[in-house]
């Protein structure tokens, strides 16, 4: 397989469970939803933008726990807000890339993971 990585490279990825406290669709967005996620006392609350708005409503996401990569370099997302503050995504929501329509990738719904039971925010995925 050409995309193989070493175990030491994989160990650099920090995947944690977080609870979505808030989910909104920015007025400038045609694709991303803004998530406010609680990762517990050690990591705190982070903002994560996820390309799920065409498939999920904010009320379907709020209060649920999901796995996120939390150690990515923050990435600028969208324009500055009305107060002149730039939005940054501070992590990545993990989902399965379910391909339902090879011709139109915008119809390929990301399938969100669900936990079989609630765990403390910030729990490390191993």
Chain segment 46-79, per-residue pLDDT in tens: 999 999 999 999 999 999 999 999 999 999 999 9
Walk me through the domains of the chain, giving residue ranges and CATH numbers.
13-112 (2.40.50.140)
Residue with tokens 């370099």: 73
Please answer whether residues 5 and 14 qualify as being in contact, where contact means their C-beta atoms are separated by less than 8 angstroms: no
CA distances from 27 to 32, 33, 62 (A): 10, 10, 19
Helix (H, G, I), strand (E, B) or coil at 70: coil
Chain segment 9-48, per-residue pLDDT in tens: 999 999 999 999 999 999 999 999 999 999 999 999 999 9
């Amino acid at each position: 397989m050409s995309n193989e990585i070493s175990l030491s490279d994989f160990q650099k990825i920090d995947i944690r469970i977080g609870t979505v406290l808030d989910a909104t669709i920015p007025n400038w967005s045609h694709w991303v939803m803004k998530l406010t996620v609680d990762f517990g006392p050690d990591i705190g609350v982070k903002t994560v933008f996820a390309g799920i708005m065409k498939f999920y409503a904010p009320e379907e996401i709020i209060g649920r726990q999901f796995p996120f990569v939390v150690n990515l370099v923050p990435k600028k997302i969208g324009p500055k807000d009305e107060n002149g503050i730039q939005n940054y995504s501070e992590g990545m929501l993990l989902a399965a890339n379910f391909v339902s329509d090879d011709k139109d990738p915008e119809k390929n719904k990301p399938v969100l993971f669900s936990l079989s039971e609630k765990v403390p925010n910030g729990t490390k995925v191993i």
